[in-house]
């Protein structure tokens, strides 16, 4: 999905290794400048002569003038590092053609032409993992956003829709399986080679093209659609991985059934193929009929995959399948509309996962991701609307804002309309725009027409960046409760002044004496301020606000601590109960870090938090999955977001001190809960998953309050574990403690799973994210480990991105953590620019950090910016981060 462009200088060119080339900012592309492409390409035929070192591609395209565009005497075919081996127009020479940078420009005099171009590429040398590349002896593609131009000259933009016919040929022994988009229409062999021909009847943009050739085996099943179509399903993996694909296949079948029942969407081909690839920049890609996945989101069994891995596989497989309609059948007119497909599809996968498991827990997990990644993005130098107005490098806009905030914006429309009317709106959207390259406005208009909502002002959510802040006051007079709300949308880069946006807020007012409320209500704050009155309250009620997280906003309110304790113990909305517990802890931690608490106040606040947490532990109405969410402490990043200037060292120290205090106060109920949970036998059911969750959380509290006891209990859990969730949870705790058991269990884990790349990724990540005092030295040593490589994105993320998310190590006071990430970016950029660029944002948050560390973070960014030959991806991220 996220595609980075090639660095300006080719990889591994010794003649240019020392050349000091000043990086240049790529040109700005603006949404307002969009114009339809002057030529249509209704059909394209491609022939691939496959090889790892050399693949020859013959592309034949029929082109005709686009009546909806301004006429042009030339057609511009995008390329990236290509040279035409041969070129013909209508069977003869192309007299008028030239190279303009990487693009091929051809002069065409008539209205219809046939262009044939032959190119040659080296998949084995493609470390960027865009276009056609080699991965462990197989060939595969990744074309979103602009990777197709690394395979063939073509108008590589999402509004050029073509019907593809593809013939692939290659050595049968090397590539026994040949896969492409659509349906297989023919195959054969001759001598040592064989071929397969594929046809996709549905017009698609070039970013959805896909090809896989390799030595693979498949788990095969079938699905009968609601219209009676029998669809062959295949999950393709390497030999030896087949027994870990059952969950992926079952997730696919559940996704297909759910999309029919909830959105009325039926699959439209005879085949659906999933291929697992070890070297992949992102999670997965929704290519029509041929989804290519990172192995992380396909392979699972209880011994090697955690409960989180199982959930991730189900969610990502659902996401990519749902793209068949929200992304493929209806695609984006241009890349500014990326949230049209991604925001809508994220919402669809969230709803699917909620229906497959615990809806309250899923909602909390989604909000945690939003607050942990998107809120900081919204408050930093990289802030942008979910539909940006401009970009320089599109790969840098595959962001949490586009995906996660985009989903929240559509969820708000669903909340305001109700599920039935929202379904009418989405049906109308699919009916109106099937087979088109559409815009975000097309989607909003369909929802507006289908639901009857007035969404004129709501469109501001698509145009304005920043997380709105809602200031709330609850007043009580006589028997009337009044809620006063006021909103502000903070200034962000390029948008100093904002307009108010409609904010739907679900709320309930609890009677203090009965602990009950009279029903949930939805209010919409549509102006800068508003007042809402509620009668029938003899005493001031307790307000539960933004229930189910009905709006992606930050709420600022002065709420008595006893009210938070009340909500944390008694709110009937699971998210609101979680929110009260988080607010209780966060409020204390922010005050403690800021030095605003005396010793008596500290003691009183800690006692109240412990009282609320004990109520959670002992509430037999809760299942352990939800209990685990309520037991979690707020993250370091979320605490930092509540402060104008964050002090990472003090946040870490106060957070660990509170964890230790709670662990000591609640040692008895924690251990009783652990003992109960430990008796539950392994299964993939909700009860057993919840038991595993609370056990690991209790180990974390014990590690802070009683390290010796934690070592003993974690080692015991590790030794008796019959699943990866328990084993990894125990090792996570041990990795942060200085003990003999730490060394023994890390060595045992490595030896037990040596050769399993996904599990060894966990081994790297556990050490890089640990609270061990020598974590930086551990990361340095691991970077020299024989199993570490910069060429595999999963391995890079497992070590360095896990470390960048570790507030203890990354924010070391001397700046060594910042230098570690800067060194990574400089070394990785020539190898894989996309992964390098995605490592920049943690450094870019320097504006919200105390001055000493901020200076060191900025110095690290300056050092990256000064390097010669930076890729466009990394150059843009760094310069925007510096401001």
Q: Which tens digits make up the pLDDT trace of 284-300? A: 999 999 999 999 999 99
pLDDT at 24: 59
pLDDT at 10: 25
Across the beta sheet with 193-204, the strand order is 92-93, 86-89, 112-121, 55-65, 39-49, 162-171, 193-204, 183-190
pTM for the model stands at 0.96
Q: Does the pLDDT of residue 277 top 90, yes or no?
A: yes
CATH number of this structure's domain 21-246+255-293, picked from the four choices 2.90.10.10, 2.60.40.1730, 3.20.20.150, 2.120.10.30: 2.60.40.1730
The tens digit of pLDDT for each residue in 834-881 reads 999 999 999 999 999 999 999 999 999 999 999 999 999 999 999 999
The tens digit of pLDDT for each residue in 78-100 reads 999 999 999 999 999 998 999 99
In the DSSP assignment, the letter for residue 454 is -
Q: Does the pLDDT of residue 748 top 50, yes or no?
A: yes
Taking the chain, what is the end-to-end CA distance rounded to the nearest angstrom?
A: 27
Taking alpha carbons only, the member of 406, 67, 284 closest to residue 793 is 284
pLDDT at 2: 27
Q: Does the pLDDT of residue 20 top 50, yes or no?
A: no
Q: Does the pLDDT of residue 17 top 50, yes or no?
A: no
In the chain, the percentage of residues whose pLDDT exceeds 90 is 97
Q: CA 287, 289, 295, 301: dihedral to nearest 10 degrees?
A: 150
pLDDT at 1: 44
* Annotated catalytic residue 320: yes
Residue range 190-218: average pLDDT? 98
In the DSSP assignment, the letter for residue 692 is H
Instruction: Please list, in sequence order, all residues whose beta carbon lies within 8 angstroms of the beta carbon of residue 625, skipping any fewer than 6 positions away.
Output: 358, 361, 686, 689, 690, 693
H-only helix segments in 682-739: 686-705, 707-720, 724-735
CB-based burial, 709-720: b 16+ in 10 Å, e otherwise: ebbebbbebbee
CB-based burial, 527-541: b 16+ in 10 Å, e otherwise: eeebeeebeebeeeb
The tens digit of pLDDT for each residue in 473-496 reads 999 999 999 999 999 999 999 999
Q: Label residue 204 by pLDDT band (50, 70, 90).
A: very high
Residue range 569-594: average pLDDT? 97
Rounded-to-integer distance, Cα 625 and Cα 627, Å: 5
How many Cβ atoms sit within 10 Å of the Cβ of residue 15?
7
Residue range 113-122: average pLDDT? 98
The tens digit of pLDDT for each residue in 129-179 reads 999 999 999 999 999 999 999 999 999 999 999 999 999 999 999 999 999
The domain defined by 331-463 carries CATH number 1.10.390.10: yes
Rounded-to-integer distance, Cα 829 and Cα 7, Å: 8
Residue range 805-821: average pLDDT? 97
The tens digit of pLDDT for each residue in 601-615 reads 999 999 999 999 999
Q: Label residue 263 by pLDDT band (50, 70, 90).
A: very high
pLDDT at 509: 98
Beta pairing, strands 480-488 & 529-535: antiparallel
CB-based burial, 278-298: b 16+ in 10 Å, e otherwise: bbbbbbbbbbbbbbbbbbbbb
Beta pairing, strands 503-510 & 542-545: antiparallel
Taking alpha carbons only, the member of 196, 311, 297, 173 closest to residue 241 is 297
pLDDT at 95: 82
Paired strand residues for 99: 104
Average pLDDT taken over every residue of the chain: 96
pLDDT at 14: 27
The tens digit of pLDDT for each residue in 406-456 reads 999 999 999 999 999 999 999 999 999 999 999 999 999 999 999 999 999
Q: Does the pLDDT of residue 9 top 90, yes or no?
A: no
Domain boundaries, the chain: 21-246+255-293, 331-463, 472-882
Q: Label residue 117 by pLDDT band (50, 70, 90).
A: very high
Q: Which of the following is catalytic: 197, 286, 314, 320?
A: 320
Q: Does the pLDDT of residue 384 top 80, yes or no?
A: yes
pLDDT at 26: 75
From the number of C-beta atoms within 10 Å of its C-beta (0-12, 13-18, 19+), residue 467 rates as buried
In the chain, the percentage of residues whose pLDDT exceeds 70 is 97
Q: How far is CA 149 from the centre of its chain?
A: 25
Q: Which fold has domain 472-882?
A: Zincin-like fold (1.25.50)
In the DSSP assignment, the letter for residue 517 is B
């Amino acid at each position: 999905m996220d595609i980075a462009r090639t660095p300006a200088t080719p990889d591994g060119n010794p003649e240019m290794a020392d050349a000091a080339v000043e990086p240049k900012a790529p040109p700005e592309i603006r949404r307002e400048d969009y114009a339809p492409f002057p030529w249509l390409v209704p059909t394209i035929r491609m022939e691939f002569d496959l090889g790892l070192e050399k693949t020859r591609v013959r592309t034949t395209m029929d082109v005709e003038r686009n009546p909806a565009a301004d006429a042009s005497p030339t057609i511009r075919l995008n390329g990236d590092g290509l040279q035409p081996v041969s070129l013909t127009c209508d069977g003869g020479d192309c007299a008028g053609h030239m190279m303009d940078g990487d693009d091929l420009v051809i002069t065409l005099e008539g209205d219809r032409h046939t262009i044939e171009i032959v190119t040659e590429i080296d998949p084995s040398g493609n470390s960027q993992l865009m276009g056609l590349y080699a991965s462990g002896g197989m060939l595969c593609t990744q074309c979103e956003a602009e990777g197709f131009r690394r395979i063939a000259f073509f108008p590589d933009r999402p509004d050029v829709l073509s019907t593809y016919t593809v013939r692939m040929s290659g050595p049968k022994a090397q590539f026994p399986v040949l896969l492409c988009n659509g349906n297989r229409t023919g195959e054969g062999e001759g001598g040592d080679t064989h071929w397969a021909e594929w046809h996709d009847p549905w017009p698609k943009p070039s970013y959805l093209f896909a090809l896989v050739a390799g030595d693979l085996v498949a788990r095969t099943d079938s699905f009968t659609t609601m219209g009676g179509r029998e669809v062959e399903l295949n999950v393709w993996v390497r030999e030896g991985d087949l027994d870990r694909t059952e969950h992926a296949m079952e997730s696919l079948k559940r996704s297909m059934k759910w999309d029919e029942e909830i959105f009325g969407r039926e699959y439209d081909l005879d085949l659906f193929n999933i291929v697992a690839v070890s070297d992949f920049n992102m999670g997965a890609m929704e290519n029509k009929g041929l989804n290519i996945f990172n192995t992380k989101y396909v392979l699972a069994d209880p011994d090697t995959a955690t409960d989180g891995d199982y959930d991730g596989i189900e969610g990502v497989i659902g996401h990519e399948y749902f793209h068949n309609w929200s992304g493929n059948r209806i695609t984006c007119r241009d890349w500014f509309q990326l949230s049209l497909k991604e925001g809508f599809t994220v919402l669809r996968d969230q709803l699917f996962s909620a229906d497959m498991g615990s809806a309250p827990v899923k909602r909390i997990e989604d909000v945690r991701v939003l607050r942990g990644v998107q809120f900081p993005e919204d408050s930093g130098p990289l802030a942008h609307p979910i539909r940006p107005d401009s970009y320089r490098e599109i790969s840098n806009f595959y962001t949490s804002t586009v995906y996660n905030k985009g989903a929240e914006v559509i969820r708000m429309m669903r909340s305001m309309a109700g599920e039935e009317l929202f379904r009418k709106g989405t049906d109308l959207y699919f009916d109106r725009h099937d087979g088109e390259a559409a815009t975000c406005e097309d989607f909003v208009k369909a929802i507006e027409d289908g639901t009857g909502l007035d969404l004129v002002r709501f469109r501001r959510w698509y145009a304005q960046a920043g997380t709105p802040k809602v200031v709330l006051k609850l007043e009580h007079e006589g028997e009337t409760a009044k809620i006063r709300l006021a909103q502000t949308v903070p200034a962000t880069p390029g948008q100093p002044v904002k307009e108010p946006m409609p904010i739907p807020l679900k709320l309930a007012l609890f009677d203090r004496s009965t602990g009950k409320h009279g029903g949930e209500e939805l209010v919409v704050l549509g102006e800068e301020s508003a007042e809402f009155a509620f009668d029938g309250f003899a005493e001031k009620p307790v307000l539960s606000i933004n229930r189910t997280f009905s709006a992606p906003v930050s709420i600022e309110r002065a709420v008595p601590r006893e009210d938070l304790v009340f909500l944390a113990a008694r709110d009937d909305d699971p998210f609101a109960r979680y929110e009260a517990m988080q607010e209780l802890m966060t409020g204390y931690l922010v005050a403690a870090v800021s030095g605003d608490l005396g010793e008596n106040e500290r003691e009183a606040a800690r006692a109240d938090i412990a009282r609320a947490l004990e109520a959670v532990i002992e509430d037999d109405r809760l299942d352990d999955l939800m209990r685990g969410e309520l037991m979690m402490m707020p993250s370091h990043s979320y605490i930092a977001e509540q402060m104008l200037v964050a002090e990472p060292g003090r946040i870490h120290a106060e957070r660990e001190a509170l964890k230790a205090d709670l662990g000591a106060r609640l040692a008895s109920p924690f251990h009783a809960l652990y003992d109960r949970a430990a008796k539950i036998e392994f299964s993939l059911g909700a009860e057993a998953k919840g038991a595993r969750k609370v056990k690991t959380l209790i180990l974390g509290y014990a590690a802070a309050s009683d390290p010796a006891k934690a070592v003993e209990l974690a080692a015991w859990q590790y030794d008796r574990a019959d699943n990866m969730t328990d084993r990894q949870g125990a090792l996570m705790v041990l990795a942060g403690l200085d003990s003999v058991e730490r060394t023994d269990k890390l060595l045992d884990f490595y030896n037990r799973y040596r050769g399993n790349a996904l599990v060894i990724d966990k081994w790297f990540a556990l050490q890089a994210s640990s609270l061990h005092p020598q974590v930086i030295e551990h990361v340095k040593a691991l970077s020299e480990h024989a199993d570490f490589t910069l060429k595999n994105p999963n391995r890079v993320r497992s070590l360095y991105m896990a470390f960048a998310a570790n507030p203890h190590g990354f924010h070391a006071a001397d700046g060594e953590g910042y230098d570690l990430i800067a060194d990574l970016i400089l070394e990785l950029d020539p190898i894989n620019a996309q992964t390098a660029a995605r490592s920049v944002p943690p450094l870019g948050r320097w504006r919200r950090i105390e001055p000493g560390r901020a200076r060191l973070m900025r110095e690290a960014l300056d050092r990256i910016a000064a390097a010669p030959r930076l890729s466009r991806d990394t150059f843009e991220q760094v310069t925007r981060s510096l401001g």
